[in-house]
Structure 1
């Protein structure tokens, strides 16, 4: 019986697969790329458009880590329904689903809520990881290059908007722990507490890069324009729309009582520690 990891060659799934494999656990790495290789795992090419193939991959699994890839809303909703159908068919021992960040769960998009509601209705042992914004977003070239070359960290949030930032590495730690902890069910929020503002992120970049870095708030539309060459028009517009919504909220902070700190005893990396570990 192995642990089945969605998107195991991607930003979210790869750290989960690596964490489990390093512990000696058997891991099946799901990917859309049949030629992919993931150290310490058995790779299986599966397309989210086919619920039967997903069910075959899940069948007999000790646990499944799932999340939804970026894409058009109709594609994400179809994938969500296929994941729920496959889970109900295969009945793995445990499921951990990540909302993949962005908004609080109560404002999640229909695809995310489809999986969450499907898990609740399934009767399967499960937990839902709810990160907010990923620190790895700050490594996007238009963001990190501005900090490195111009001393300006540009991001589409007001300067005093607190966010419970979190790394993919912290999500992996929580996912691996939750796959082994069927006693913890429901929602697990993950991210910094207290939440950090833009200028506080700039202070971490200053300390890491060794030169002054200030914070500059971009409009979501301007950020979308910067991302279009990287992500394409539709995906960049979706990101801009997300930040349009986030700027209407007073903050994007976790609830401490439902946090990984409280429920799992896991403290997320500080921005400076994350920079030290990831940005050379």
Structure 2
């Protein structure tokens, strides 16, 4: 099977390459930067240059593909451009006879638009995918464990023994490892029974802030406390990575959480049922921290 992967240079989709290799797939990884070609090649993929904003280029690189593992960049200057990026890939896939698209939506989709461009555009992408005529699966992960390796978190662990994140301590989250999400993407590609399906996935443990810090402490072998980072502080740290508009939207979202007493669900109680359709060996927070200890000890 030939699989074209988008977003493989980043942590969200990088492991799709190795997970698909386990199935014997022939993997092609798209990138808009020549600087990423060697990284993708070393990972075992055939790198292909392709800017998602160019419809004709998407027509070219989707030819001959059996499946597409789709991810829309989260760092676009205008998040609403993500819809056109998605359309270019989806429409090209349809015309070229791609059998299935599996979209990693980079989070649980909201029931309706909430005024955050990066989140609202995902609903438009979903609608276009559903109406495309291509078999599809949407994988909606909760919050990535890899987020805790970011500059707004890891330095606090190293320097202050604090696990910093902008969610209230009382808010439980089913944190999930990016490798697990990639495994779900690959399993969805290979499951012929899935043709118009959506899965909200999470980790197996629903952890409040102090519980998360406890698992972190077990993984590191030293005591770490939870620090609910103020939303504005988080937004400032995020600007260099997602731009001012993107950071403002994310900060606004977390500020709303911090001022609330009712929190959105970030844990799927039916993960066992999902794992029957998409068999994945799930990663616990403690084991993930142990595997990535070097990122948190300086």
Using structure 2 for the length normalisation, give the TM-score: 0.85
Match of 1:272 among 273, 283, 286: 286
2:199 maps to 188
1:145 aligns with 2:155: yes
Structure 2 counterpart SS, 1:240:
helix
2:133 maps to 123
1:65 maps to 69
Structure 1 residue 267: Cα displacement: 4.6
Match of 2:51 among 43, 47, 52: 47
Structure 2 counterpart SS, 1:122:
coil
Q: Distance in 2 between matches of 1:123 and 1:257?
A: 29
Superposed, 1:227-238 pairs within 5 Å as 227-238=238-249
Do the aligned partners of residues 261 and 111 (structure 1) sit closer, same or farther apart at CA in structure 2, a change above 3 Å counting?
same
Structure 2 counterpart SS, 1:204:
helix
1:251 aligns with 2:275: no
Q: Distance in 2 between matches of 1:88 and 1:159?
A: 45
Q: Distance in 2 between matches of 1:236 and 1:148?
A: 24
Superposed, 1:1-280 pairs within 5 Å as 2-35=2-35, 36-37=37-38, 38=40, 39-70=43-74, 71=76, 72-101=78-107, 103-107=108-112, 109-185=119-195, 186-247=197-258, 248=260, 250-257=263-270, 260-280=274-294
Q: Distance in 1 between matches of 2:20 and 2:99?
A: 16
Structure 1 residue 210: Cα displacement: 2.3
Q: Deviations over 1:192-215 (max 9, x none)?
A: 244211111111221122221111
Unaligned runs of 5+ in 1: none
Structure 1 residue 246: Cα displacement: 4.7
Tell me the C-alpha RMSD between the 2 structures.
Answer: 2.2
Whether the 8 Å contact between 2:91 and 2:132 is mirrored in structure 1 is no
Do the aligned partners of residues 32 and 245 (structure 1) sit closer, same or farther apart at CA in structure 2, a change above 3 Å counting?
farther
Moved over 6 A (4+): none
Q: Distance in 2 between matches of 1:263 and 1:21?
A: 20
Whether the 8 Å contact between 1:162 and 1:251 is mirrored in structure 2 is no
Do the aligned partners of residues 142 and 95 (structure 1) sit closer, same or farther apart at CA in structure 2, a change above 3 Å counting?
same
Do the aligned partners of residues 220 and 246 (structure 1) sit closer, same or farther apart at CA in structure 2, a change above 3 Å counting?
same
Unaligned runs of 5+ in 2: 114-118
Structure 2 counterpart SS, 1:119:
helix
Q: Distance in 2 between matches of 1:76 and 1:244?
A: 24
Do the aligned partners of residues 28 and 182 (structure 1) sit closer, same or farther apart at CA in structure 2, a change above 3 Å counting?
same
Which 10-residue stretch deviates more, 11-20 or 238-247? 238-247
